[in-house]
């Protein structure tokens, strides 16, 4: 009886395999379609709009910061101009965070109004010509870098 129970737990011959699981790697490597890239872009742009009007919250800031971090990882393989564009935007985003910590409200200064839209345009191009797998890999790299910084600081 125990042997039979063990065999059932280890491998269930009646278990069904999800037929679409074979297609997941293929779907992850395809290019974003227009609707997907527009949806992701609009989320980031609406977060930016709410942050600049003072209606933004921490979730909006996190979305904008994560988008810029993903853009930075992708920019590193594309060239110095792309990296510089994203770094300027990130400096402005950090200044927005500092303002929030001082005043309790998000807002954009002149540097943010100048640099962040350029980074978002670059991010839109990454979405238009990228794939879900490329963007997921970039986000994974961002998480790894953040964890390395946390362990180094501790």
pLDDT tens by residue, 58-86:
999 999 999 999 999 999 999 999 999 99
Taking only the tens place, the pLDDT of each residue in 11-37 is 555 566 666 766 677 767 778 889 999
* Beta carbons of 71 and 93 less than 8 angstroms apart: no
CA atoms within 13 A on the CB side of 78: 18
User: If you count them, how many residues does the chain have?
Assistant: 154
Cα separation, 60 vs 97, whole angstroms: 11
> For 12-26, 89-103, 124-138, 140-154, which range has the lowest pLDDT when averaged over its residues?
12-26
Q: What is the pTM of this model?
A: 0.80
pLDDT for residue 51: 93
Cα separation, 116 vs 122, whole angstroms: 10
Q: Which three-class secondary structure string do you get for 30-89?
A: CCCCHHHHHHHHHHHHHHHHHHHHCCCCHHHHHHHHHHHHHHHHHHCCCCHHHHHHHHHH
> For 11-15, 65-69, 101-105, 114-118, which range has the lowest pLDDT when averaged over its residues?
11-15
């Amino acid at each position: 009886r125990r042997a039979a129970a063990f065999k059932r737990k280890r491998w269930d011959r009646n278990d069904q395999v999800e037929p679409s699981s074979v297609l997941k790697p293929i779907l992850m490597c395809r290019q974003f379609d227009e609707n997907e890239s527009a949806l992701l872009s609009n989320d980031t742009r609406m977060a930016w709009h709410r942050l600049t009007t003072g209606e933004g919250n921490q979730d909006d800031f996190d979305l904008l910061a994560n988008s810029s971090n993903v853009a930075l990882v992708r920019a590193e393989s594309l060239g110095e101009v792309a990296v510089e564009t994203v770094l300027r935007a990130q400096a402005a985003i950090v200044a927005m965070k500092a303002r929030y910590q001082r005043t309790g409200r998000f807002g954009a200064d002149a540097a943010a109004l100048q640099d962040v839209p350029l980074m978002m345009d670059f991010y839109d191009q990454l979405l238009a010509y990228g794939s879900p797998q490329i963007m997921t890999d970039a986000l994974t790299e961002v998480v790894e870098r953040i964890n390395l910084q946390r362990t180094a600081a501790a």
